[in-house]
């Protein structure tokens, strides 16, 4: 496959990272992952806005302005002749002798990007998924989409070893998010999800689903909720670029509701799929 490396395109095998790249040494960098449908990037502007915000929060100077970066990503998709899949890219603070503080002289950021083809499925998990409820041991700036994902990696692995598909994390009994997704619950017809503060990543899919809920007239509360509320929810689902809307039907040994994907999750997934059909046709 063809990859993006700074401003050029290389074959995957030619892409090499310096051993003193701060992304490699400290996880000092940011990333985005976007869904591609019919060769077009879905919710592109929101992803680029989030990237710009992540860069500002880490005081990282992006190597190119957004129009140029978008142009490079479009070319990357074209060069790979990809219709449906993902584009992933990251920017690190660059390569320099290892020191925690920012480089004193200006060095170039390192941009790398790649694609992964994957078919477009209407419903990835028709029976819902099983999750494990685990402690959120991550840092206090989960709102920044940084490369430093060890808390997410450890929880995802622990969930996997427990026979679950993912983990839902909580801080002292307050549900935050999943390891790669946001978490929603439905109680008496109201959609509830953690407010977008420093404890969660404000998912682009989360924002899109909140918009769909508004259009469908589903009441929404953006607030903290407890693990107890989660276990007593009528429905639980996760959202991410990868899964869109995915029902959670089991939390450790507790079935959610009647143990089947619920009507609100289905209604939102249907609306989501209609929006994608419309996006493709535009
Ligand atoms: N939270 C975390 C921790 C994530 O890694 C992701 C996926 N990148 C999300 C939420 C969902 O974000 P998005 O909808 O933008 O994919």
Q: 24-53, pLDDT tens digit by residue? A: 999 999 999 999 999 999 999 999 999 999
> pLDDT at residue 123 above 90?
no
Nearest CA to ligand 1 atom 1: 181
Q: pTM to 2 decimals?
A: 0.97
CB 267 within 8 A of CB 237: no
Ligand 1 atom showing the smallest separation from residue 204 Cα:
15
Q: Which residues contact 56 (CB under 8 A, 6 or more apart)?
A: none
| For ligand 1, mutation pick of 168, 240, 244 (most atoms within 8 Å of CB) | 240
> pLDDT at residue 122 above 90?
no
Closest CA to 146 of 72, 206, 201, 87: 201
User: For residues 93 and 57, what is the distance between their CA atoms, to the nearest angstrom?
Assistant: 13
Task: Give me the phi and psi of 137, to 5 degrees please.
Answer: -100, 15
Read off the pLDDT of residues 95-109 as tens digits, 9 standing for 90 and up: 999 999 999 999 999
Nearest CA to ligand 1 atom 9: 181
- pLDDT cut 90: percent of the chain above it: 97
Q: Which residues contact 281 (CB under 8 A, 6 or more apart)?
A: none
DSSP states of 233-253 as a string? -SEEEEEETTTEEEEEEEETT
Ligand 1 atom showing the smallest separation from residue 206 Cα:
14
Nearest CA to ligand 1 atom 3: 180
* pLDDT score at 121: 84
Q: How far is the CA of 104 from the centre of ligand 1 (A)?
A: 32
* pLDDT score at 147: 98
Domains plus CATH for the chain?
2-117 (3.30.470.10), 129-281 (3.20.10.10)
> pLDDT at residue 221 above 80?
yes
Selected catalytic residue, list 40, 49, 74, 145: 145
* pLDDT score at 193: 99
Q: How far is the CA of 167 from the centre of ligand 1 (A)?
A: 13
* pLDDT score at 211: 98
Across the chain, mean pLDDT equals: 97
16 is catalytic: no
Q: How many degrees, rounded to 5, is the angle at CA 34 between CA 69 and CA 64?
A: 15
Ligand 1 atom showing the smallest separation from residue 142 Cα:
3
Q: Which residues of 100-132 are buried (b: 16+ CB within 10 A; e: fewer)?
A: eeeeeeeeebbbbbbbeeeebeeeebeebbbbb
Which residues does ligand 1 sit against, CB inside 6 Å? Answer: 33, 152, 177, 180-182, 201, 203-206, 239-241
Read off the pLDDT of residues 233-279 as tens digits, 9 standing for 90 and up: 999 999 999 999 999 999 999 999 999 999 999 999 999 999 999 99
Q: Which residues of 43-68 are buried (b: 16+ CB within 10 A; e: fewer)?
A: bbebbbebbeebbeebebebeeeeee
ipTM: 0.99
């Amino acid at each position: 496959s063809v990859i993006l490396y700074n401003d050029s395109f290389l074959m995957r095998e030619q892409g090499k990272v310096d051993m003193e790249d701060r992304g490699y040494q400290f996880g000092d960098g940011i990333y985005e992952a976007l869904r591609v449908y019919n060769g077009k990037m879905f919710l592109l502007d929101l992803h680029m806005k989030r990237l710009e915000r992540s860069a500002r929060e880490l005081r990282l100077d992006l190597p190119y302005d957004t129009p140029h970066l978008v142009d490079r990503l479009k070319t990357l998709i074209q060069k790979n002749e990809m219709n449906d899949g993902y584009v992933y890219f990251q920017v690190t603070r660059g390569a320099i002798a290892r020191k925690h503080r920012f480089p004193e002289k200006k060095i170039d950021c390192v941009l790398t990007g790649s694609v992964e083809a994957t078919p477009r499925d209407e419903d990835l998990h028709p029976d819902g998924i099983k999750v494990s409820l685990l402690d959120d041991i991550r840092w206090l700036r989960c709102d920044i989409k940084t490369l430093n994902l060890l808390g997410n990696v450890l929880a995802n692995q622990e969930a996997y070893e427990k026979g679950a598909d993912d983990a839902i994390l909580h801080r002292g009994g307050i549900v935050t998010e999943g390891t790669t997704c946001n978490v929603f619950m439905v109680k008496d017809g109201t959609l509830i999800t953690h407010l977008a503060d420093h404890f969660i990543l404000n998912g682009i899919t989360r924002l899109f689903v909140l918009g769909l809920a508004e259009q469908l007239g589903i009441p929404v509360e953006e607030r903290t909720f407890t693990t107890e509320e989660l276990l007593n929810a009528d429905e639980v689902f996760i959202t991410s670029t990868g899964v869109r809307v995915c029902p959670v039907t089991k939390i450790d040994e507790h079935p959610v509701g009647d143990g089947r994907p619920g009507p609100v999750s289905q209604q939102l997934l249907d609306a989501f799929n209609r929006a994608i059909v419309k996006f493709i046709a535009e």
